[in-house]
Amino acid sequence: MNSKNNIRNSCDTGETPPRRSFLKTIAMGATLAGAMLMGAGQAQAATTWKIQSTWDAGTVGYTLFEEWCKSIEAKSGGELKFQCFPAKAVAADNNSLFDSVRSGVLQGMNPFTLYWAGKIPASVFLSSYPAGPDQPHQWDTMFYSMGMLEKTREIYKKFGLFYVGPIQHDANIIHSKQPVNSLADLKGMKIRVPGGMVAEVFQQFGVSTVSLPGSDIFPALEKGTIDAADFVGPAVNYELGFSQVTDYIIFGPPGVMSIYQPVDLMDLTVSLRAWNSISPELQQLVEDEVRIYSQKHYLAIQARNIEAMEKFKADGDTVTRLSQEDLETWRKAAIPIWFNWANKNEDARAILDIQLKYMMNDTVGYITEEDIKGF
């Protein structure tokens, strides 16, 4: 009787009976344990992508890329991590970089898109080419508003790759030991330029073209084995010491830094296997982040370019400019070469068709029906 009264009294006063308290403790412990197990399972489920850039360690390009990669883990709530590497850290050269992503040694790459001209002929039209579209917004328009992104993904899928999106970088410029004030001044010069279409157009003007990796440019200029060299834009080129071995920088007409690669695009490409392994929500996050990063990357480098040009000037370098007439002459020489590359396969033709439609529209007006008559 007393014990029953005690129990009743404890209930009436809000006190928890010992057995009920014990059961409640067990239930709470089970809930906490379950939550911990779920948390551990989620942590184990986090996906890590190893991504190699073609930027050298220590350059402004790689520093920006590294910062962006580190931000993905927090933005994805810990579900996806980007582990980034500089040029040559995992894959020793561009060929092995391409193959490493296809084979799964790496899950992604941040290359200059033009590097795959020998493997994917259409890629010559996925970054700027001689006398083609020469403003960054034009490329974003073609990719995101005219179907070029979707077509590019179709092409890359054939190689087991997923092209996430373009990353705006800069114009490529030429540093020279001698002044170049017109296309005629190029005749007889030995210049390091990318291969493919770019080299072919330069050769039309009497240039002896040389293909060298970025790390070999400075010593070649220093020794005088080449007269001039193209590489990326002012910010990175200054970091690589080009002001120490050249005296002139060749630009196009005002507003056009380069007539041969004015919008040198990079991209983020991942293996199709890696892409398909993440949720649609994560896929959308990565796509959105690439578009955001593209703008940040481009603007940061443009700010650094302004600073770098002041440094080049202080070091005694002189800017020389080609004329608008030179640009028109250059375009006339380039157009037949565009079509030679477009005719390598149907994918290349499809990409150029999108771009011709844009360049011939009156909003751009770079070429006319007469310009491409017979091609």
Look at residue 69 and tell me whether its pLDDT is greater than 90. Answer: yes
Same domain, 255 and 275: no
What integer is the mean pLDDT of 234-238? Answer: 94
Rg, the chain, Cα only = 28
What integer is the mean pLDDT of 68-80? Answer: 97
CATH number for the domain including 156? Answer: 3.40.190.170
CB of 356 within 8 A of CB of 372? yes
Segment holding 169, helix H or strand E? strand 161-170
Convert 56-90 to b/e letters by CB count within 10 Å (16 or more is b).
Answer: beebbbbebbbebbeebbeebeebbbbbbbbbbeb
pLDDT, averaged across the chain: 89
CA dist 34 and 187 (Å) reads 75
Count of domains observed in the chain? 2
Same domain, 200 and 124: no
Closest CA to 130 of 328, 346, 370, 371: 328
Look at residue 273 and tell me whether its pLDDT is greater than 80. Answer: yes
What integer is the mean pLDDT of 62-80? Answer: 97
pLDDT range class, residue 5, cuts 50, 70, 90: very low
Look at residue 41 and tell me whether its pLDDT is greater than 60. Answer: no
Look at residue 287 and tell me whether its pLDDT is greater than 70. Answer: yes
CA dist 139 and 128 (Å) reads 8
Look at residue 14 and tell me whether its pLDDT is greater than 80. Answer: no
Same domain, 300 and 329: no
pLDDT range class, residue 242, cuts 50, 70, 90: very high
pLDDT range class, residue 1, cuts 50, 70, 90: very low
What integer is the mean pLDDT of 185-204? Answer: 94
CA dist 298 and 169 (Å) reads 5
What integer is the mean pLDDT of 37-66? Answer: 79
Q: Is 283 annotated as a binding residue?
A: no
pLDDT of residue 46: 85
Can you read off the two tokens belonging to residue 263? Answer: 């919008």
CB of 158 within 8 A of CB of 120? no
Look at residue 280 and tell me whether its pLDDT is greater than 50. Answer: yes
CA dist 94 and 100 (Å) reads 10
**Mean pLDDT lowest among 12-21, 41-50, 228-237:** 12-21
Residue pointed to by tokens 């120490």: 244
pLDDT range class, residue 52, cuts 50, 70, 90: very high
Same domain, 180 and 158: no
Same domain, 63 and 200: no
What integer is the mean pLDDT of 286-308? Answer: 97
Beta-carbon contacts of residue 312 (< 8 Å; ≥ 6 apart): 234, 238, 243, 249
* Full residue range of the structural domain in which residue 77 is found: 47-169+265-308
In a domain, 8, yes or no: no
Same domain, 152 and 135: yes
Same domain, 181 and 139: no
pLDDT range class, residue 27, cuts 50, 70, 90: very low
Total H helices, total E strands in the chain = 13, 11
pTM: 0.84
Q: Is 172 annotated as a binding residue?
A: yes
Same domain, 153 and 181: no
Look at 264 and 24; give whichever has higher pLDDT: 264
In a domain, 12, yes or no: no
CB of 239 within 8 A of CB of 63? no
Look at residue 37 and tell me whether its pLDDT is greater than 60. Answer: no
Alpha-carbon dihedral angle through residues 56, 60, 63, 68, given to the nearest 10 degrees? -120
Look at residue 16 and tell me whether its pLDDT is greater than 90. Answer: no
In a domain, 95, yes or no: yes
Same domain, 304 and 218: no
CB of 266 within 8 A of CB of 233? no
pLDDT range class, residue 45, cuts 50, 70, 90: low
In a domain, 30, yes or no: no
pLDDT of residue 2: 44
In a domain, 116, yes or no: yes
Same domain, 304 and 331: no
In a domain, 41, yes or no: no
The crossing angle, in degrees rounded to 10, of helices 60-75 and 280-314 is: 160
Same domain, 161 and 57: yes
Ranges of H-type helices in 177-323: 196-203, 217-223, 234-239, 272-276, 280-314
How far separated are the first and last CA of the chain, in Å rounded?
A: 108
Q: From residue 114, give the alpha-carbon distance in Å to each of 143, 166, 195.
A: 16, 12, 10
What integer is the mean pLDDT of 166-189? Answer: 97
CA dist 251 and 259 (Å) reads 8
In a domain, 332, yes or no: yes
In a domain, 226, yes or no: yes
Structure confidence by residue, pLDDT tens digits, 85-115: 999 999 999 899 999 999 999 999 999 998 8
Same domain, 160 and 182: no
Please, what is the Cα angle at 60 between 57 and 66, to 5 degrees? 60
Q: Is 230 annotated as a binding residue?
A: yes
